[in-house]
Structure 1
Amino acid sequence: MARRKGEPRSSSTGSPLQSRSSRSTRSGDDNRQPRNAPALREIKRLQNTTNLLIPRKSFQDVVRSIVLRIVCQHHFTGTIRWSVTAMEALQEAAEAYLVNFFEDALLCTLHARRVTLMVKDFELTRRMRGPNDVANR
């Protein structure tokens, strides 16, 4: 007869091994946290805040370099100025898009019965969103 999940395994002499609860434990094992506890704490902290995730200065530098590259292609010779609210709105929209994109990629990961995000999940997400998505232009 096959052993069930809750039954202990038998040793070679035929006597059952000690169950997990009756084994002697080290004194420090009771207070031990799982390895992913810091990551779970950070996830909970970020879910409870409304702060932006990307640092403002870094995002501003990336936006300015992209705009400068586009402007140089069209031979524009003036200066471009951004209002603070316009930059905040752009950053809010960009972060919302990225969070949504990661959520969809995570659904692809879970559908494949995995827990680790891979490049192929992002590629599948882009493919499923279609050619009119911002990332596919």
Structure 2
Amino acid sequence: MVRVKQINGKQKLEDTIQEKILKAKKDKYESKTSVDKSKKLYRKRGNFVLDEIRHYQLVTENLILKKPFQRLVKEILINVQAENARPLYRMSCAAVCILQDMAESYLTDLMNDGVICALHANRITIFPKDFDLVLRLSPNY
């Protein structure tokens, strides 16, 4: 049974036909533009890595998590205390944060110089020998 509009008691069949045509066109367009959620979107190789690089270039927060870094610092302090047999060392939260910032900046500078050494050798992959070369050549490290 076809639904028809009644305006002032008169049926307008042509309005409903036009509405059906518009709805069919709209459904056809939506089916083309919508993506199946079951299908995985295909991305070109390397795009994800480039997106990660762009993201981490904009991020200003620390990349190393705070708790694991604090545990590492505590472990190093315990080892130093065991060697020296001195009283307990304590570190404030601000000191650990500053130490974390400096460690991250050191590592990023070392990585950048390692990438430059790899590119100089016409390679893309970074090898341990690149870091050895960086540590040997620069007095900053």
The normalised TM-score by structure 1 is 0.68
How big is the shift at 1:80? 2.6
In 1, distance between residues paired with 2:118 and 2:46? 19
Partner of 1:110: 119
Partner of 1:3: none
What number of residue pairs does the alignment pair up? 101
| Gapped regions of structure 1 (runs ≥ 5) | 1-30
Q: CA RMSD in A?
A: 1.6
Q: Residues 1-137 of structure 1 correspond to what in structure 2 (within 5 A)? A: 33-76=43-86, 78-130=87-139, 133=141
Partner of 2:11: none
Secondary structure of the equivalent of 1:57? helix
Partner of 2:38: none
Q: Identity of counterpart residues, as a percentage?
A: 35
The answer (yes or no) to whether the contact 2:117–2:134 under 8 Å persists in 1 is: yes
Looking at secondary structure, tell me which structure has more helix per residue. Answer: 2
| Gapped regions of structure 2 (runs ≥ 5) | 1-40
Deviations 1:65-122 (A, max 9, x none): 111111111101x333221111000000000000000000000000001111111111
In 1, distance between residues paired with 2:112 and 2:81? 33
Query: What amino acid sits opposite 2:98 in the alignment?
Result: A
In 1, distance between residues paired with 2:50 and 2:66? 25
The answer (yes or no) to whether the contact 2:118–2:126 under 8 Å persists in 1 is: yes
The normalised TM-score by structure 2 is 0.67
In 1, distance between residues paired with 2:85 and 2:54? 47
Looking at secondary structure, tell me which structure has more strand per residue. Answer: 2
In 1, distance between residues paired with 2:107 and 2:98? 14
Query: What amino acid sits opposite 1:126 in the alignment?
Result: L
